[in-house]
Amino acid sequence: MRAIITATELADELSGANPPVLLDLRWQLSLAKAAGAPEPDTRAEYAAGHIPGAVFVDLDRELAGVPGVNGRHPLPDLAEFGAAMRRAGVSAGRPVVVYDGGQGWAAARAWWMLHWTGHPDVRVLDGGLPSWEGELSDVVPDPAEGDFVPAPAAAGLLDADGAAALARTGVLLDARAGERYRGEVEPIDRVGGHIPGAVSAPTTENVGPDGRFLPAAELRDRFKALGVCADAEVGVYCGSGVSGAHEVLALAVAGIPAALYVGSWSEWSSDPSRPVAVGADPQ
């Protein structure tokens, strides 16, 4: 199963006999919000124009739990997540396509959540809404209730201890910007730096200027240069489990399975007893 879909392919499938459920995940990391300013009104952006038939899904409220010691975007209650997906029309026997405003991070979080909880066919619109060349709609759909019931996989998820261990025994990739990894700046969390042993791998380098993923062969070469080999166990973290999901998606495009540390740096750094490394050296 492919993890991404082009806008042309999506248009063809939407006009076909079994069109996918379409989810709009417009969201953005807001440093202004972290400073107490109002967050961007992405629901209003959705209402003003979205791909016809798309249902808005709120990342902060439906794909994450309440922020706290487990991070800024911890796992949601899975029963509540399942109910939200069913309200959006998600069923196990129907494909799902997710998209966002173009950055790809929020769509990837939705892709990861659905994939990890057992949906067999979920893809991300490569390039997000800016790649869509068709008309937009301001009609908010009222989908029929879906039947999707989350069934989390045993693999694919890391906690803090698992991430620490993987940094020693496998490859743990840090998907944040390099300056945050090095601890030069930290605009959100308690302290800057990275998990000891983690390798800097900004997820922004997995895409081209148009926001679309690099070809699979180029992604494989990139991850190989970062230490990912055929028999390596791979994990990813970021600030709060959103951009890290985008890196897990990039790895999937390259044909490389990887686990996500959902709590990520926002959880790790909240505990003063956990070690912190700074600088370009993983250790």
Sheet holding 55-56, edge to edge: 4-5, 122-125, 96-99, 21-24, 55-56
Cα distances (Å, whole numbers) of residue 135 to 11, 103, 195? 11, 20, 45
Report d(CA 283, CA 281) in Å as an integer: 5
**Six-digit token string for 226:** 């970062």
Cα distances (Å, whole numbers) of residue 252 to 91, 133, 145, 236? 23, 26, 30, 12
Q: Tokens 């740096």 — which residue?
A: 265
CA nearest 104: which of 251, 211, 253, 240?
211
Looking at this protein, which amino acid is placed at residue 256? I
Report d(CA 249, CA 100) in Å as an integer: 14
Distance of CA 109 to the CA centre of its chain: 3
Residue 196: count of CB within 10 angstroms of its CB: 16
> CB neighbours of 249 closer than 8 A, spacing ≥ 6?
3, 4, 104, 108, 111, 112, 124, 213
Annotation marks residue 229 as catalytic: no
Q: Which one is catalytic: 160, 238, 256, 258?
A: 238
Catalytic residues: 238
